[in-house]
Amino acid sequence: AQDISFKASHLLSSGIVEFKAMYRPEKILWFCMEDGSLVSCSIDFQAGFIGWAKHELGGNGVVDSIAVVQKDTADELWMVVERDIRTLEYLVFDNLDSTAIEDSYYVDCGEVFTSGTPTDTITGLDWLSGQEVVALADGAELASAPVSDTGEITYDRTFSKCSIGYAYISDLIPVPPELNINGTWQGKNKRCEK
């Protein structure tokens, strides 16, 4: 009976095409919007937390459809995404407590490449031809660079494992904190610390 969307009307204004619920590793509602955007709502009622987010996809990606697939340890969000071509993609959730930096995957529409012998070149990036990409190679960030028309990219260092794809930007717009202690906090100086 609780309206959880009252602070997210700007994210939902284009209209919802479909939505799916994910339960593991986190409780998240996923929304495929009429304008092709992807919106999520993370929920933890016990902690009193509801957080909304709009997920902008690299390469001007437009989401056509979504599905949540239940796996043994965690659910996966699968999407049909339209860019220059139509792709089937799924969202990977890294466990920030246990995933080593070299095993992290912080790209959009990407892939992980491994090589037994260190290399400086990745081939087979046909779906990213002509696009600017970012990469994380053996845990180190590589400078953004364009993929050639033949689907190949060469860097100035060698690596054995590399995740490569579109960059994504994370913007945080926090809701103003409000504690009703001795009146309102609004308009007063505040400080946030880690």
Length of the chain (residues): 194
Q: What is the pLDDT of residue 178?
A: 64
Q: What is the pLDDT of residue 176?
A: 62
Average pLDDT per run of 10 along the chain, which is 194 residues long?
A: 77 92 90 95 83 89 94 89 90 73 81 92 93 92 94 94 88 67 68 65
**Contact criterion met (CB below 8 Å) for 76 and 91:** yes
Q: What is the pLDDT of residue 102?
A: 76
> pTM higher than 0.85, yes or no?
no
Alpha-carbon gap, residue 17 to 32, rounded angstroms: 6
Helix then strand then coil, % of the chain, to nearest 5? 5, 45, 45
Give φ, ψ of 101 to 5 degrees.
-60, -35
What single DSSP character describes residue 25? Answer: S
> Measured between alpha carbons, how far is residue 18 from residues 8, 30, 74 in Å?
16, 8, 21
**Over the Cα atoms of the chain, what is R_g?**
20
Q: What is the pLDDT of residue 193?
A: 66
